[in-house]
Chains A and B, each alone.
Chain A
């Protein structure tokens, strides 16, 4: 079982560059989300989606875009990378019910110089 797959695992960007973090799940989950993890800050929600064609903002959406064209994929785009976006990014998914636990990918460590 692949579960939630994130690519790449590591990435270094220069300020102003753009890139897309990929996330795919093979569990037919309706809900997908992106979190960032920073030291001492826990995990903070960036964007989430409750189904194909539907996305919404989380706690820290600025500087990021998402789209959900299929149930399986939920890419996260950094339009113009900034050093403040240096972080570890986690994609997660779950079935539609609120009491279902999130299944997390293994994370992407992004450094912006």
Chain B
């Protein structure tokens, strides 16, 4: 069975600090997909990124970057120069490749607070 572990539950930083959110996953499949979602205080769930298991390239999008390492089954998310608007709950999720029947399994989430 697939599993996602987000060991950090709450992180508090001061604005402009860099912060890394950890995600470790378990799966028996060789093809799978990893996702990060953001849930701001308003409550909606916002898709941030998807990574395929066969693509280990890291990705950068503005202040956000993601480090995917199959060797350690990790898909970590770094926010550079954090801002108050980054305060949210962040979820890592895993989908195994079952075609239409693929289910998305979420970690328990990390609450990030960025203080001014």
Contact B52–A102 (Cβ < 8 Å): no
Does B98 interact with chain A (Cβ within 8 Å)? yes
Cβ of A82 within 8 Å of any chain B Cβ, yes or no, is no
Cross-chain contact B102 with A43 (CB below 8 angstroms) = no
- Contact partner, A98, options B45, B91, B95, B107, Cβ 8 Å: B95
* Contacting pair B50 A106 (CB below 8 A): no
Q: Are B107 and A102 in contact (CB under 8 A)?
A: no
Q: Does B106 contact A42, Cβ atoms closer than 8 Å?
A: yes
The answer to whether B101 and A99 have CB atoms under 8 Å apart is no
Count, chain A residues at interface, CB 8 A: 28
A97 to B33 Cα, complex, angstroms: 11
Nearest A residue to B45, CB-CB: A104
Contact B95 A106 (CB under 8 A): no
| Complex-state Cα separation, A4 to B105, whole angstroms | 20
Task: Decide yes or no: A99 and B99 within 8 Å by CB, A41-B108, A104-B44, A107-B44 being known contacts.
Answer: no
Known: A50-B100, A51-B100. A43 touches B47 (CB 8 A): no
Chain B interface residue bracket vs A:
20 to 34
Interface contact A31-B47, CB-CB below 8 Å = no
A48 CA to B101 CA, complexed, in Å: 9
Identify the A interface with B (CB < 8 A).
30-31, 33, 35, 40-45, 48, 50-51, 56, 58, 88, 90, 92, 96-99, 101-104, 106-107
Known: A104-B45, A106-B43. 16 other contacts (CB 8 A): A33-B103, A41-B108, A42-B6, A43-B106, A44-B106, A45-B103, A50-B101, A97-B100, A98-B33, A98-B98, A99-B95, A101-B47, A102-B47, A102-B104, A106-B44, A107-B44
24 contacts between A and B (CB under 8 A): A33-B103, A33-B104, A40-B9, A40-B108, A42-B107, A42-B108, A42-B109, A43-B91, A44-B106, A45-B103, A45-B104, A45-B105, A51-B100, A58-B103, A92-B45, A97-B99, A98-B33, A98-B100, A99-B95, A101-B47, A101-B50, A102-B104, A104-B45, A106-B43
Chain B residues packing against A (C-beta within 8 Å): 6, 9, 33, 35, 43-45, 47, 50, 52, 91, 95-109
